[in-house]
Structure 1
């Protein structure tokens, strides 16, 4: 792991770089709004995430340079005898760093973090249009064991 990378909780000063990464792909460019100043909705979401002890927004850095991001949400369930699970979402690697192991290290760090938090299971979703992402997650040990459903509410 750790190709000169360090991982930390994101700060509000990181928000611009994070939004730039999530907007920098074919799907993100259609649904995100990266402009200056950033829309207030991003700042409000960031504040809600960081105020919740069961949410972590993690950045991967090379020195002071942010090269990746993921959000981890920890959820208690009654199933599995009251077990906790972690959900990884919003994974992005800066386009200039893709294919260099940043995503692998980021996800492996997230798995270790979930174990430290006592989670019995870690889950994630990826858009079916992201064929490379699906193969990437499968190489890391994730299995498509369930059929996921979503409903857009706006």
Structure 2
């Protein structure tokens, strides 16, 4: 498996991965041509040194993805933390350890960037994802809140 920064030409596959579950299907649109909004968001991510859109490639096929956002904080003595979002593994590659390897890579990336902690959220409607994160050592120590517009 190879971990690398996503490229603009990867977007159709990435959006398909994001849309390939009941929750993603409600909020993503993978019809071609893709909405310009996806390309605009990608350009912002690509230009921001504190954001990394990472893909997992195996035998030339994209099989997983996640986004890392590095955030400076005053807490923890002015440290950095890493937020992990948009985690997906292609349906036909789930249960094969891809997610574990992707997270091991992401956690090491956060350490290399000097982060003091890694955080993520998971929708309560995804109990299998929550179990996966707990098995990796993540602790549900906080209650999360979101306000959608």
TM-score (norm 2): 0.99
List runs of 5+ in structure 1 lacking aligned partners: none
Residue of structure 2 aligned with 1:145, choices 112, 123, 141: 141
Q: How many residue pairs end up in the alignment?
A: 149
RMSD of aligned residue pairs (Cα, Å): 0.5
Runs of 4+ in 1 over 4 A off after TM superposition: none
- TM-fit CA distance, 1:82: 0.6
- TM-fit CA distance, 1:63: 2.2
- Counterpart position of 1:64: 60
- Counterpart position of 1:20: 16
Residue of structure 1 aligned with 2:70, choices 74, 91, 107: 74
Trace 1:98-137 onto structure 2 (pairs within 5 A).
98-137=94-133
Distance 1:151 1:86 in 2: 21
| SS of 2:99 mapped into structure 1 | helix
Distance 1:138 1:88 in 2: 14
| SS of 1:43 mapped into structure 2 | helix
- Which structure exhibits the higher relative contact order, with contacts defined as CA atoms closer than 8 Å and separated by 6 or more residues? 1
